[in-house]
Amino acid sequence: MRGRFSLIGAFFAVAFAAGCAGSRSTPVGYAGDDARDFVREHRAELEKEIGTGSGPRLYDLAVLAGCQDVYKLNRRLHRNQEKIFAASGEATASAAASAGVSDAEVGDRVVRFLTDARELRCLYLDTSKDHGVWVAGTRHVGPTRAQVLQRGGTP
């Protein structure tokens, strides 16, 4: 009986060590890898929707990345579609199709664009420690002290 428990303990110790050794530098809620995979899988649809400035796949991407301003996201992607889909040194998206820009490169460009555009407030792509949604002490639930005092409440 004692040998069985030591074997189970050794198994959990190895599993724990393997999990800690492969720890990622990104926060727990980071969705950059999922967003890249989404762009790779739906590149053709996203390219058409970015060309028009709206669509269901753009909305799905915004939800996946946690972007707070979907309308602004659609406009900004539409304005920057040449930078996203064009090959290095190319000027148009149609030239990118003939040049063969890989889906992986387009996915990286989209995630980099969403991460760099702070005004879009894509919460799940934010890797800073002080701007995350679930950082302790940054979320306030309920009315503020000023609101309570304004209503005549006690301090």
User: 87: which DSSP letter?
Assistant: P
Q: Is the pLDDT of residue 150 over 70?
A: yes
Q: Which residue has the tokens 């290095």?
A: 88
Helix (H, G, I), strand (E, B) or coil at 67: strand
Q: What is the pLDDT of residue 6?
A: 61
- Higher per-residue confidence, 33 vs 13: 33
pLDDT digits (tens, 9 = 90+) for 46-57: 999 999 999 999
Q: Which residue has the tokens 């000023």?
A: 146
Q: Which residue has the tokens 């979907």?
A: 70
Q: What is the pLDDT of residue 23?
A: 44
Domain boundary assignment for the chain: 27-125
d(CA 98, CA 109): 18
pLDDT digits (tens, 9 = 90+) for 1-27: 555 556 555 555 555 554 454 444 556
